[in-house]
Chain A
Amino acid sequence: MSTAAIFPPGLFTYSFMQNAWLAGTAVAAVSALVGFFVVLRGAAFAAHAVPRASFAGAAGAVLVGGDTLVGLGVFSALSALGIASLGARRDQSRMTALVLMAALGLGALFLSASDAYAPEVYALLFGQIVGVSRADALGLVGLLALALIAVALLYRPLLWSSVAPDVAEARGVSRRRMDVLFLLLVALAATAAVPVVGALLSFSLMVAPAAAANRIARTPPQAMRIGLVVALVSVWLSLVLAYDTSLPVGFFVAAVTTLCYGLARIYSALRERRGALRTVKPA
């Protein structure tokens, strides 16, 4: 098989593809960083709900003739705050469902009122390579920088609050505050990922790579690194495949990341079995 078939001309040279590479890389990095905490906190539902709900914001923006990215951002933040509003962790999946439902209801309304713009809005459902402009891509790199700073700042207190919330609370790390900040971080990642990967599937970048990493890694920094690598490789592979086949990026991202997770599970199961035969459990 010739390299031209896998890497056809234009994959790296077309301007829109260069934007896509830039945007995709930025999105993968942001999603992996935030995804580490998503999996740590068992917040997979929130990671799904926030981008899904943000789609309604884009539909609303189209309706009033505004910028879809702004619509995405606003609804991401609003749904994140809505989910955080109840506070109690036990209730959170219920609250997440209600917030998502409210957003989707509004989205249905906005969509029905403006079907003239449907193609642009539906592109946000599946993700489009073609849709990303150079300005958008650079904007995403900016969001990546923002996310890097946020994660760097939040790392210690959020880690402690996620692992041992009672002790962290006793030492002054407010569980409530960390929850809100975490969800806003998810909103940030959602706003970045939706234009590239689509509202339906951007959450798979936040969940599967980090979940795979957690199975393999032994320490948190290691988990973050592995998650980052998995996310980057997944997005790059998906871009190539999407370019070759003209099918949506979102589909490939979901498929590849899920595959990675499956492989990680198999690997860790094998490692367990091998390890169990050799080590003696400490007294």
Chain B
Amino acid sequence: MHGLGAFFADPAVGTALLLGSIVASVSGAVGAFVVLRGQSFSGHALGDIGAAGASAAYLAGMEPLYGFLGVGLLSGLLMDRLGERASSRDLATGIVLSLMLGVGALFLYLLTERTNASGGTAAVLFGSIFTVDPSVTLPIALFSLLSSLLLALLYRPLLLSSLQPDVARARGVPVGAVGLLFMLAAAIAIEESALVAGALLSMALLIGPAAAALRLARHVGAAVLLSAGLAVLALVLGIFLAYESYFWPPVQHGWPVSFFIAALVLLEYLLARLWPQRAARRREEGAAA
């Protein structure tokens, strides 16, 4: 194993760890609700859409972050408004994704043509955490803060309307508005992680740790925190492994960080599945508290 000193001294690694951790923790937290609400498709779709938006931004030569966020918020809004029931929500997600990906595919194609290198597309699709511009750190941190605050604000009504929408309505909770606001908070978290690390990573950090945490934690609040923690863990380990892989024989090539993180997140989920199952009733009692 190569020296840890060299690992931490590398500036690209430093940026990756910092940005990645911020983004991972928010994704993990938001992800717990995304998975709880059965909105995994929307979560994935927003990541893909974000990646398509990024390529458009690269092509136009403009700062990608705002393009990402704008498209993400718009898509999140459309997905939420176009379908109410679970199955028609997935259909709405599919249609919006189809449209956005179509446009994005156009831009991706033009980008590949113009830059004449596969690297561009790979970077957008699969992540470029080692090559991200450090200047986005501040905007990312601010948006992450915004998303977390929104989540904290929404926590109780969101919990109730996710677990028991009828009861929530009866108690006067604006279920529709809460759902929409959550979708927007999620879109922020997902788009910024897609920007930093690509569509694949964005989805991995959103869904995997959350799925694991929901199996392990005793109630949803704990799951949110655990999920954030698992996401950061996977990210840090993943970056470390990706860095180390450059020195692994035979190829001095390195394996992509998104692969490691996806693998780690999957491992987290599989281990969580093997964990002895707690009574689901206890979780619901704790959640209602």
B188 to chain A, nearest CB (A): 19
**Residues of A contacting B122 in the complex (Cβ-Cβ under 8 angstroms):** 111-112, 115, 118
Interface string of B191-230 (1 = CB under 8 A from A): 0000000001001100110010000000000000000000
B277 to chain A, nearest CB (A): 14
**Residues of B contacting A224 in the complex (Cβ-Cβ under 8 angstroms):** none
A side interface size, CB within 8 A? 51
What is the CA–CA distance of A45 and B211 in the complex, to the nearest angstrom?
A: 17
By the criterion CB–CB under 8 Å, are A251 and B109 in contact? yes
What is the CA–CA distance of A44 and B118 in the complex, to the nearest angstrom?
A: 29
Q: With contacts A97-B41, A98-B269 known, is A254 near B91, CB below 8 A?
A: no
A208 to chain B, nearest CB (A): 6
Q: With contacts A93-B90, A112-B122, A198-B105 known, is A48 near B99, CB below 8 A?
A: no
Q: Which partner residue on chain B sits nearest A40 by CB separation?
A: B87
B side interface size, CB within 8 A? 52
Interface residues of B in 106-154 (CB under 8 A from A): 106, 108-109, 112, 118-119, 121-122, 126-127
Partner of B109, one of A207, A247, A257: A247
Q: With contacts A101-B262, A112-B256, A251-B109 known, is A257 near B98, CB below 8 A?
A: yes
Q: Give the secondary structure class of A's interface.
A: helix
B266 to chain A, nearest CB (A): 6
A258 interface contact, C-beta 8 A: yes
Q: With contacts A98-B207, A111-B126 known, is A203 near B94, CB below 8 A?
A: yes
Partner of A105, one of B38, B40, B262: B262
By the criterion CB–CB under 8 Å, are A98 and B266 in contact? yes
**Residues of A contacting B262 in the complex (Cβ-Cβ under 8 angstroms):** 101-102, 104-105, 108
By the criterion CB–CB under 8 Å, are B94 and A48 in contact? yes
B181 to chain A, nearest CB (A): 21
What is the CA–CA distance of A55 and B259 in the complex, to the nearest angstrom?
A: 15
Partner of B105, one of A102, A105, A111, A200: A200
**Residues of B contacting A126 in the complex (Cβ-Cβ under 8 angstroms):** 105, 108-109
Partner of B211, one of A47, A98, A102, A111: A98
By the criterion CB–CB under 8 Å, are A119 and B203 in contact? no
**Residues of B contacting A101 in the complex (Cβ-Cβ under 8 angstroms):** 200, 203-204, 207-208, 262, 265-266
**Residues of B contacting A106 in the complex (Cβ-Cβ under 8 angstroms):** 259
Q: With contacts A42-B86, A204-B102 known, is A105 near B263, CB below 8 A?
A: yes
By the criterion CB–CB under 8 Å, are B269 and A45 in contact? no
A66 to chain B, nearest CB (A): 20
**Residues of B contacting A254 in the complex (Cβ-Cβ under 8 angstroms):** 98-99, 101-103, 105
By the criterion CB–CB under 8 Å, are A102 and B38 in contact? no
Q: Which of A39, A44, A251 has the most CB of B within 10 A?
A: A44
B269 to chain A, nearest CB (A): 6
Partner of A42, one of B91, B102, B211: B91
B66 interface contact, C-beta 8 A: no
Top 4 closest pairs, chain A to chain B, by CB: A254-B102, A42-B87, A105-B262, A44-B94
Beyond the given A109-B256, A258-B95, please list 4 additional residue pairs across the A-B interface where CB-CB is below 8 A.
Answer: A97-B207, A105-B263, A109-B259, A252-B102
